Amino acid sequence: MNTNVGLLEALAPQAPDALLALIGMYAADFRPGKIDVGVGVYKTATGTTPVFGAVKAAERLLLDEQSTKAYLGPEGNIGFFTSLTNLVFGVRDFQSRLTGLQTPGGTGALRLAAELIALAKPGARILVGTPTWPNHMSILTTTGLEIVNYRYFDAATQTLCFDKLMSALDEAEHGDVVLLQGSCHNPVGIDLSEAQWLLVAKRMAERGLLPLLDLAYQGLGSGLDADALGTRIVFDYVGEALLAYSCDKNFGLYRERTGALFALSRNAAAASITQSNLLMLARANWSMPPDHGAAAVRLILESDALTLQWRTELEMMQQRIVEVRNCLADLDPWFEPFRNQQGMFSMLPLNPDQVRVLREQHAVYMAGSGRVNLAGLTRQSAALFATAIAAVR
């Protein structure tokens, strides 16, 4: 036995997160007029990511009224989960089959969902449309699930490959899982229409597939109800479903790690078993989720005045994104498809070399994939951005 070789030396080096590296390069660039469309957070027209007024108000209440920091439990803040259930689903008739819990962000919810699936069916296959949020791949592979890719989006035509999605569903086997983003698709900004959601939900139900939905941007696309429509349709149709939800964008809580995992089971008895497994997995992962963000969201959703304030602020953000989309399309017809896409992200048909030239020669910073965060632009910088893109494409 060689005692000079450490166990950890068996590990292979991992590539650093490309977006974090981009943040570093942007910070080190002193050219005036540099443009950041790389980082995936909402920004105002002045380039900041402020705390929502409604969140500040809820935090003030918390500071005054919170009387203990004692443990809550692996399910987290139950009032938060109940209020969020109403926000996401409205009044539904599957309430007795629906369980779930608070999680550390949408990422925590996805992790728990993947672990629940692996527990029920080790090595389960999961259909993932490409491109998708890169962390989906990391979460699913490190949980031991088998990823089956199909093409979701064609960058050249800026269209959804709906036929590829339907064929993937047709080729899937009973018990396979289907990962779908609820709205404001990251990175491509193209979502299913209501008619497409109905077809997909019906096909998943017929073929015995388990939907795993990811809703991370409710309210940033077309409004709170419209953005939850696909999720509601799927949950209405199928026997079993999972939903990973993030409050980190639509409440601006990013670092507070606020989210939830919802699970729909076939009947109330099965729901209680699902819940017991979720609680066990949460306990084994983080024991209990962080409280602060969820406590603030609960206060907002339980107060008519704070809810109104939050909705108004969220609508302003949504409208600003729509304005930037329209502004780009007005500036150059090449951006016309952006007009009807949803949420903060769109994906340009650019190769990594063009992305590099944009960074080096035009001080435009974007992900190597060509994903752009439109909230990184203003009316003025949109014109510079459009000119830079025209120069490289």
Ligand X SMILES: Cc1ncc(COP(=O)(O)O)c(C=O)c1O
**Residues 6 or more apart in contact with residue 387 via CB below 8 angstroms:** none
- 223 touches 176 (CB < 8 A): no
Task: Select from 61-69, 84-92, 104-112, 204-212 the region that touches ligand X (CB under 6 A).
Answer: 104-112
Count the Cβ atoms, other than its own, within 10 Å of residue 255: 10
227 scored as a contact of ligand X (CB under 6 A): no
Measured from the CB atom, is 246 or 346 closer to ligand X? Answer: 246
346 scored as a contact of ligand X (CB under 6 A): no
Instruction: Please pick, from the candidates 40, 74, 293, 370, the single residue that binds ligand X as defined by CB under 6 A.
Output: 40
Measured from the CB atom, is 107 or 309 closer to ligand X? Answer: 107
Structure tokens of 243?
């939903």
Distances (CA, A) of 165 to 57, 130, 170, 183, 187: 43, 10, 9, 16, 17
Distances (CA, A) of 64 to 59, 61, 68, 262, 293: 9, 5, 11, 31, 16
CB of 353 to ligand X, least distance (A): 26
Measured from the CB atom, is 259 or 370 closer to ligand X? Answer: 259
Give CA–CA dist 205/192, Å, rounded. Answer: 17
Task: Please give the residues from 54 up to 73 whose contact with ligand X meets the rule CB under 6 A.
Answer: none
Structure tokens of 283?
């306990």
Measured from the CB atom, is 115 or 248 closer to ligand X? Answer: 248
Q: Of 308, 306, 317, which is closest to residue 57 (Cα–Cα)? A: 306
186 scored as a contact of ligand X (CB under 6 A): yes
CB of 18 to ligand X, least distance (A): 14
Task: Select from 53-61, 103-111, 141-149, 333-341 the region that touches ligand X (CB under 6 A).
Answer: 103-111
Task: Select from 102-110, 196-204, 319-327, 382-390 the region that touches ligand X (CB under 6 A).
Answer: 102-110
The residue number whose beta carbon is nearest to ligand X equals 105
106 scored as a contact of ligand X (CB under 6 A): yes
Measured from the CB atom, is 40 or 74 closer to ligand X? Answer: 40
Instruction: Please pick, from the candidates 191, 214, 240, 256, the single residue that binds ligand X as defined by CB under 6 A.
Output: 214
Which of the following is catalytic: 109, 124, 201, 216?
A: 216
Whether 69 sits among the annotated catalytic residues: the reply is no
- 234 touches 204 (CB < 8 A): yes
Place of tokens 């109104």: 308
CB of 128 to ligand X, least distance (A): 12
Q: CB-based burial of residue 58 (10 Å sphere; 0-12 exposed, 13-18 middle, 19+ buried)?
A: buried
Helix (H) or strand (E) holding 81: helix 78-89
Measured from the CB atom, is 255 or 266 closer to ligand X? Answer: 255
Instruction: Please pick, from the candidates 83, 99, 102, 181, the single residue that binds ligand X as defined by CB under 6 A.
Output: 181
Count the Cβ atoms, other than its own, within 10 Å of residue 26: 16
Interstrand relation of 159-160 and 153-154 (parallel, antiparallel or unpaired): antiparallel
DSSP 126-184: EEEEES--HHHHHHHHHTTPEEEEEE-EETTTTEE-HHHHHHHHHHPPTT-EEEEE-SS
265 scored as a contact of ligand X (CB under 6 A): no
Q: CB-based burial of residue 70 (10 Å sphere; 0-12 exposed, 13-18 middle, 19+ buried)?
A: exposed
107 scored as a contact of ligand X (CB under 6 A): yes
Whether 216 sits among the annotated catalytic residues: the reply is yes
Instruction: Please pick, from the candidates 38, 76, 100, 105, the single residue that binds ligand X as defined by CB under 6 A.
Output: 105
Which of the following is catalytic: 58, 114, 133, 310?
A: 133
CB of 300 to ligand X, least distance (A): 17
DSSP 332-359: -GGGGGGGG--SSEEE----HHHHHHHH
Measured from the CB atom, is 41 or 305 closer to ligand X? Answer: 41
Instruction: Please pick, from the candidates 55, 98, 216, 389, the single residue that binds ligand X as defined by CB under 6 A.
Output: 216
Measured from the CB atom, is 201 or 244 closer to ligand X? Answer: 244
Please give the angle made by the CA atoms of 328, 329 and 333, to the nearest 5 degrees.
125
Q: Give the binding-site size for ligand X (rule: CB under 6 A).
A: 12
Task: Please give the residues from 112 up to 151 whose contact with ligand X meets the rule CB under 6 A.
Answer: 133
CB of 91 to ligand X, least distance (A): 26
Catalytic residue annotation: 133, 214, 216, 249
Residues that bind ligand X (CB under 6 A): 40, 105-107, 133, 181, 186, 214, 216, 246, 248, 259
